[in-house]
Structure 1
Amino acid sequence: MSTGKGLKRIKNQPVLHSSLKKQKNLWLTIEIWDLIKEEATKNQLSCSEYVEQKLRECHGR
């Protein structure tokens, strides 16, 4: 996933959102995980970023 032209990722500085991401755990069925992977690939995103974007859309953020 690209950060955009001229943007460089710097450790401990968010690029795509206003805050840093932290590792969290989710328990999902195999079917849902496969669906997330499929949709993320279609949208050229990581699974993490796909889930984050979908939730932000739902909550208007």
Structure 2
Amino acid sequence: MEPGIGKKRTRDQPVFYDEKKQKYTITLTPKTWKKLQALAVDTGVSASEFIERTIRAIDSDDSEI
């Protein structure tokens, strides 16, 4: 079962992870943005969630940076 499925969404409460997401800004070329969007669609998640999962997979022990 996917984490967070069946869990009630409450404002300011994390669903998938143990901490709430914050807004950050990154700058990408249009070609990279389109590729990121395509990868996210293929995976069935948002671009933000795709980046989150990719970084967490690289740091699989999920230790603090």
Identity of aligned residues (%): 28
Partners in 2 of 1:16 and 1:46 — Cα distance?
A: 13
Residues paired across the two proteins, number:
59
Q: For the aligned residues, what is the CA RMSD?
A: 1.4
Runs of 4+, deviation exceeding 3 Å: none
TM-score by length of 1: 0.88
Pick 1 or 2: higher relative contact order, CA cutoff 8 A, min separation 6. 1
Distance apart, 1:59 and its partner CA: 1.1
TM-score by length of 2: 0.83
Gaps of 5+ in 2: none
Partners in 2 of 1:51 and 1:11 — Cα distance?
A: 22
